[in-house]
Amino acid sequence: MFMSRSRGKTTVLRSSGQRLAPIDPETAVLAARGFTDTARQVVGELSGAAGLPVWLVNRVAGDAYTTLAASGGRAASQVGVTLPWRDTLCATYLSSSGCAVVPDVAASGTAPVVAEKWGLRAYAGMALTSGDGRLLGTLCGFSREPLDVELAHWSSAVLPAHAEELARQLVAALGAAAHARAGDAEVAAASRDELTGLPDRDGWGLLLDREDDRCRRLAEPSGVVLADIGPVRTARSLRRAVAVVQETVGADAVLSRVGGRQLGLLCPGQPADSVADLARQVRDELVTSGCEAVTGWSVRIGTRGLLETWWAAENDLLLARTRQVHGARVSG
């Protein structure tokens, strides 16, 4: 079991300030499972009928493009693989249009390097978007042979119906996951650190376990920030440091006490740049308040779980503390 502490502040939506009502975690699991089952069914149907033998359903979160379902040839080995969004055919053809069918990539004049690398000649894809237009994923198909005109028209006709249903189920699964997080924070808080009232290492473990499961099912981005607040001489100074961090992170992270002078922040739904910014903000605010603080951070990448992400954040924290000590010696 991972070890952590958490704070219920993440139950507030940044966009509206509306507090999420917790739900049974199993409800969120079933919603994610329903989306995955539908994705597998869709790629299976399309790979046998659309003239494009390989079909994928992918999640897009920040710059991460992760395959959640695949059908055709050796495509199944791509499930769980994460690529930079900017390096994909979907980014090339769907960034300016929600739906694209390219019968001959080589003849289109915009053949990306990835198509040349894998010998891909035909592409069809459609974006999976939320109600407010945010890109959540893609449904796409590939072929090593050009696509004839009749099949290109057929793909254009069938893609929207499949993509809209996938998008609907993905939005529902992500919404259920957000509500389940609210419940996680409340359950984790039942195992409290007496001095701060934050969840303790057992609570931290529960948070990481549950969030890791959501990440694997829905390719949700997530990060860990660790803050070493420096020497703590009184309970009052510890509580003051905790208050500074709580004020800084707001609804962006779940806060826990994971060690004598170490705080852990779980950042669900946050891509790498956001986690890095949060780590810097926490460090700067703690230092401004008088703490000899350093922070370390890491994000979940590909199939790496949140336990490994926590370890990576520990290593980053150690490097930061080493740099701080070395800097003090040089200036002294």
DSSP category for residue 87: G
Q: In the predicted model, what is the mean pLDDT of residues 259-288?
A: 94
What is the phi-psi region of residue 22: left when phi exceeds 0, alpha when psi lies from -120 to 50, beta otherwise?
Answer: beta
Residues of the chain with CATH 3.30.450.40: 25-176
Cβ neighbour number for residue 49 with a 10 Å cutoff: 12
CA pair distance 199, 36, nearest whole angstrom: 32
CA distances from 115 to 86, 88, 108 (A): 13, 9, 12
User: Can you name the residues that pair with 138 across neighbouring β-strands?
Assistant: 58, 127
Cβ atoms of 198 and 192 closer than 8 Å = yes
Dump pLDDT digits (tens) for 49-95: 767 899 999 999 888 899 999 987 777 788 888 889 988 999 988 97
**DSSP run (H or E) holding 78:** none
Dump pLDDT digits (tens) for 83-118: 899 889 999 889 767 888 888 888 776 666 777 777
Residues of the chain with CATH 3.30.70.270: 221-331
Q: Lowest mean pLDDT: which of 105-119, 160-174, 290-304?
A: 105-119
Q: Which CATH code, of 3.40.50.970, 1.10.1520.10, 3.40.50.170, 3.30.70.270, is assigned to 221-331? A: 3.30.70.270
Cβ neighbour number for residue 150 with a 10 Å cutoff: 9
CA pair distance 292, 324, nearest whole angstrom: 9
**Which residue's entry shows tokens 């500074």?**
244
Cite the beta strand spans of 151-242 per DSSP E: 222-228
Dump pLDDT digits (tens) for 3-24: 333 333 322 223 333 445 555 6
CATH top class, domain 25-176: alpha beta
